[in-house]
A and B are shown apart, each in its own frame.
Chain A
Amino acid sequence: MSAPIDDEPELARTFSTLEPSPAAVVRMGEAIEGRLARLARPLWREWLGLFRARPVLSPGLALAAMAMVVVTTPMGLALGLGARAVLSVSFEARGSSREWVAAWGMRTTSTSTIPSKSPAASPSPGCRQGAT
């Protein structure tokens, strides 16, 4: 009943009995796609991949890709919040914008004691007509 299996083709045919069933192939395929989908690439690997790209033909494209990664990832949000914090600190140091404008206006008013030569001359900001 059984064929001789000591020659290569016959042994290969014997190994063909180890073929997975169609259901097993589908099952494995679904498991593989699930695992690949869950494969999380940390951001540092994305950055590393950009630098490891061989060859880097366009530095401009590489920089654009890096900017894209920054903008579209939590890093971009962190940078934005950080920049906002820095700017708000600098505004507080200068005072509020309204106070700043008012201070600038008082300064220009105090320096405009010399009457302007031409009545039609447009007054400087903060300068009152009655001040001269």
Chain B
Amino acid sequence: MFAIFATLGDFGGGEPPAAEAEVASLVDAARGGDSRAAQRLYRMHAGRVFRAVRAWCPSEAEAEELTQDVFVRALSSLDRYEKREGARFVSWLLAIAVNLARQRARASSRTRAEDEETLERAAGADEAPDAGTAIDAERTKRALLAALAEIPERDREVVSLRYGAELSAAEVARATGLSEANVRKVCERRRTELAERIRKILGDTPGNEGRRTG
């Protein structure tokens, strides 16, 4: 079955989330050996998975590697996936991501020094005073990553699953093994803290807090 994937090089391109019924039919088709269905499943969920795991990895390359691991694991073990009431396919994917990320973290040699280096890079990233949209986004991204690096690993998991992968509190709870109430508490606490940290990194003044851009 997996040899068929090699003949159809159509992986790529992000797509918006589709209805869960469509996902279920794609999962059934992929389970039966339909490589196009597997490719579509990848394209539909690649962005979400990457946004979540990026916060857990020190670099883009490692995040890409982890994302690949997630999909290889998921697509090669679709027979183990069981559709549950109220649980989406993406939450199963992210549960795999959480487990793989924890395994990597245990084996990783990431140190606190690397986190500080990330913070310094974020602070020094704004060279152009008149930043375009892309540079703004890059600055915000670096500030977010730097802010996330300073919160504990478990809270970082919760926040990135909730806001990066856009999972519900119940789904985050299932993926991380925490209670739903605990997930909500973590999100409540870290949301404001992250906001403050990001503002500090981006160098916002108190007078700019109310200003919104389009």
What residues of chain A have their CB less than 8 Å away from a CB belonging to chain B? Answer: 1-8, 11-12, 14-20, 22, 24-37, 39, 41
Interface-located stretch among B19-27, B43-51, B112-120, B173-181: B43-51
In the assembled complex, the Cα of A35 lies from the Cα of B72 at a distance in Å of 7
8 Å CB contact of B12 from A4, A17, A26: A26
Q: Does B18 contact A (CB under 8 A)?
A: no
8 Å CB contact of A2 from B43, B60, B64, B199: B199
Instruction: Check A11 against B163 for contact (C-beta < 8 Å).
Output: yes
Q: Does B14 contact A (CB under 8 A)?
A: yes
Q: Mark B186-213, 1 if CB is under 8 A from A, else 0.
A: 0000011011101100101000111111
Whether A20 touches B64, Cβ cut-off 8 Å, given contacts A11-B191, A32-B42, is yes
Whether A18 touches B194, Cβ cut-off 8 Å, given contacts A31-B68, A33-B11, A39-B2, is no
8 Å CB contact of A34 from B6, B47, B145, B166: B6
Which among A7, A24, A30, A31 has the highest number of chain B CB atoms within 10 Å? A24
- Residues B5-58 near A (CB distance < 8 A): 5-6, 8-9, 11-14, 39, 42-43, 46-47, 50-51, 54-55
Instruction: Check A20 against B47 for contact (C-beta < 8 Å).
Output: yes
Determine the chain A residues whose CB is within 8 A of the CB of B75 once the complex forms: 32, 36
What residues of chain B have their CB less than 8 Å away from a CB belonging to chain A? Answer: 2-3, 5-6, 8-9, 11-14, 39, 42-43, 46-47, 50-51, 54-55, 60, 64, 67-68, 71-72, 75-76, 136-138, 140-141, 144-145, 160, 163-164, 166, 191-192, 194-196, 198-199, 202, 204, 208-213
Determine the chain A residues whose CB is within 8 A of the CB of B198 once the complex forms: 2, 5, 14
Instruction: Check A11 against B50 for contact (C-beta < 8 Å).
Output: no
Instruction: Check B9 against A25 for contact (C-beta < 8 Å).
Output: no
In the assembled complex, the Cα of A36 lies from the Cα of B51 at a distance in Å of 23
8 Å CB contact of A25 from B13, B60, B72, B163: B13
Secondary structure of the A side of the interface? helix
Q: Please give me the residue from chain B that is nearest to A30 by CB atom.
A: B11
Q: Please give me the residue from chain A that is nearest to B48 by CB atom.
A: A19
Instruction: Check B140 against A37 for contact (C-beta < 8 Å).
Output: no
8 Å CB contact of A18 from B12, B51, B195: B51
In the assembled complex, the Cα of A2 lies from the Cα of B13 at a distance in Å of 29
Whether A19 touches B71, Cβ cut-off 8 Å, given contacts A1-B213, A8-B163, A32-B11, is no
8 Å CB contact of A17 from B47, B72, B140, B195: B140
In the assembled complex, the Cα of A35 lies from the Cα of B41 at a distance in Å of 16
Whether A12 touches B163, Cβ cut-off 8 Å, given contacts A25-B13, A31-B68, is yes
Min CB–CB distance A93 → chain B (angstroms):
45
Instruction: Check A19 against B68 for contact (C-beta < 8 Å).
Output: no
In the assembled complex, the Cα of A29 lies from the Cα of B192 at a distance in Å of 36
8 Å CB contact of B5 from A2, A15, A27, A33: A33
Instruction: Check A22 against B13 for contact (C-beta < 8 Å).
Output: yes
Determine the chain B residues whose CB is within 8 A of the CB of A31 once the complex forms: 64, 68
Min CB–CB distance B26 → chain A (angstroms):
15
Min CB–CB distance B194 → chain A (angstroms):
7
Instruction: Check B213 against A2 for contact (C-beta < 8 Å).
Output: yes
Q: Please give me the residue from chain A that is nearest to B137 by CB atom.
A: A17
